């Protein structure tokens, strides 16, 4: 490994080394973090990142279906809390919800998945995360919290086909909820851990109703959400068939971002300091970081000599920076 040395006119002795001020070498590297988590694909029929400006009532479906989302009451974007993206949807527990028109996207008798992040201010009573329920309350399905437990249900003509309950929801804590229907199997997950399951052998009804987020969709007995909901996704496939690690970032298309532009010639900035007595420490630069065959040159940012001792001024501590370019 080649080393380029900044040499002092003076011998730097251990005692002086102890006195020497810190030498800080900061190299600027272009680092590209590829974070294609996937999950927004052809089976994604609704995806709400709930990102945007604080208090905005514009919520966008980022799935290819691009459903229209309407905020009702005081439902709004809130930047005070979020799981991802710096914002989430806020509901004050009274008359607030998001509504999305009925669609064939919501009808899949075989398999589907609802998953979302939620943060509740209360673990008392029932509060809906996502429901599709007819206005007469006779048919519907959805996920909610019931007290401090996660809850999912489906009923036809007022008769329950499944009711799943389990886990422990903590107030003022972000949790991940997932309900997965995989053929005749229904499983409810809290933070990636199955908390209840049921089997069924019937075909679900096509529920003629809008999808409600933060509300169970039944006006006479509303179960409004009180808190925040983020990263809501409806998929027409079973996303999980066993316990899983909850997603660590917003769902995206799964495609890698385009390659970054080539790095600039500036390799880094080197900052060093001199003692008032004229001594300085030797500063080394790792030339192995340079392209093969490159010759290191020093661009003097302020025109001073590279000889440490020659620029030291009694009674002062000088700090200088130079740019390193290959």
Residues in touch with Ca ion (CB under 5 A): 49-51, 73-74, 82, 84-85, 88, 92, 94-96, 230
- 10: CB partners within 8 A, 6+ apart: 278, 279, 308, 309
Integer-rounded Cα radius of gyration of the chain: 30
Q: Are 256 and 34 in contact (CB under 8 A)?
A: yes
Alpha helices in the chain (DSSP H): 14-19, 308-311
For Ca ion, give the closer residue by CB, 96 or 105: 96
The DSSP bridge pattern shows strands 149-156 and 140-146 to be antiparallel
Cα-based angle 86, 90, 96 (whole degrees, multiple of 5): 155
Residue 242 · residue 197 · CB < 8 Å: no
Beta bridge partners of 12: none
CB of 83 to Ca ion, least distance (A): 6
Q: Which residues contact 43 (CB under 8 A, 6 or more apart)?
A: 235, 236, 237
* Residue 114 C-beta: closest distance to Ca ion, Å: 17
Closest to Ca ion by CB, 69 or 285: 69
112 by Cβ neighbours in 10 Å (0-12 / 13-18 / 19+) ranks as: buried
Whole-angstrom distance, CA of residue 235 vs CA of residue 38: 13
Nearest CB to Ca ion, comparing residues 73 and 166: 73
Cα end-to-end span (Å), the chain: 16
Question: Judged by CB, which is closer to Ca ion: 48, or 207?
Answer: 48
Q: Which residues contact 117 (CB under 8 A, 6 or more apart)?
A: 83, 84, 88, 174, 175, 176, 177, 229, 230, 231
Shortest separation between residue 155's beta carbon and Ca ion, angstroms: 27
- Residue 50 or 207 with smaller CB distance to Ca ion: 50
What distance in Å separates the CA atoms of residue 228 and residue 118, rounded to the nearest whole number? 6
- Helices and strands per DSSP (H, E), number in the chain: 2, 21
Identity of the residue, 95 or 147, whose beta carbon is nearer to Ca ion in the bound complex: 95
Closest CB to Ca ion: residue number: 85
Cβ closest to Ca ion, residue 94 vs residue 277: 94
CB atoms < 10 A from the CB of 314, how many? Answer: 7
**Choice between 84 and 234, CB closer to Ca ion:** 84
Give CA–CA dist 95/214, Å, rounded.
Answer: 9
Q: Shortest approach of Ca ion to residue 105 CB, angstroms?
A: 21
Give least dist CB 161 to Ca ion, A.
Answer: 32
Q: How far is the CB of 174 from Ca ion (least distance, A)?
A: 11
Shortest reach from residue 195's CB to Ca ion, in Å: 24
Task: Tell me the closest approach of the beta carbon of residue 86 to Ca ion, in angstroms.
Answer: 7
Nearest distance in Å: CB 82, Ca ion: 5
Q: 77 or 312, CB closer to Ca ion?
A: 77
């Amino acid at each position: 490994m080649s080393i380029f040395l900044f040499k002092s006119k003076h011998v730097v002795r251990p005692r002086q080394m102890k006195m020497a001020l810190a030498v800080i070498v900061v190299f600027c590297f272009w680092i590209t973090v590829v974070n294609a988590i996937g999950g927004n694909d052809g089976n994604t029929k609704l995806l709400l990142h709930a990102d945007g400006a604080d208090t905005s009532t514009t919520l966008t479906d980022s799935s290819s279906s691009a459903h229209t989302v309407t905020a009702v009451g005081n439902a709004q974007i809130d930047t005070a809390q979020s799981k991802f993206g710096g914002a989430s949807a806020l509901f004050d527990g009274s008359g607030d919800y998001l509504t999305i028109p009925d669609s064939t996207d919501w009808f899949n008798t075989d398999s589907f998945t609802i998953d979302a992040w939620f943060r509740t201010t209360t673990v008392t009573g029932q509060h809906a995360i996502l429901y599709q329920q007819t206005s007469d309350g006779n048919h519907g399905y959805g996920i909610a919290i019931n007290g401090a437990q996660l809850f999912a249900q489906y009923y036809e003509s007022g008769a329950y086909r499944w009711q799943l309950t389990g886990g422990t929801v903590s107030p003022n804590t972000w949790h991940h909820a997932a309900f997965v229907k995989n053929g005749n199997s229904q499983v409810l997950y809290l933070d990636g851990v199955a908390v209840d399951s049921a089997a069924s052998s019937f075909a679900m009804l096509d529920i003629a109703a809008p999808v409600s987020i933060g509300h169970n969709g039944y006006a006479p007995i509303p179960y409004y959400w009180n808190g925040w909901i983020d990263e809501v996704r409806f998929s027409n496939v079973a996303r999980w068939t066993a316990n899983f690690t909850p997603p660590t970032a917003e769902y995206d298309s799964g495609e890698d971002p385009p390659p970054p532009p080539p790095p600039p010639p500036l390799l880094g900035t080197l900052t060093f300091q001199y003692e008032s007595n004229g001594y300085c420490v030797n500063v080394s630069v790792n030339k192995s970081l340079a392209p093969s065959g490159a010759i290191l040159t020093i661009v003097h940012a302020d025109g001073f000599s590279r000889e440490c001792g020659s620029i030291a001024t009694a009674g002062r501590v000088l700090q200088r920076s130079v740019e390193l370019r290959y």
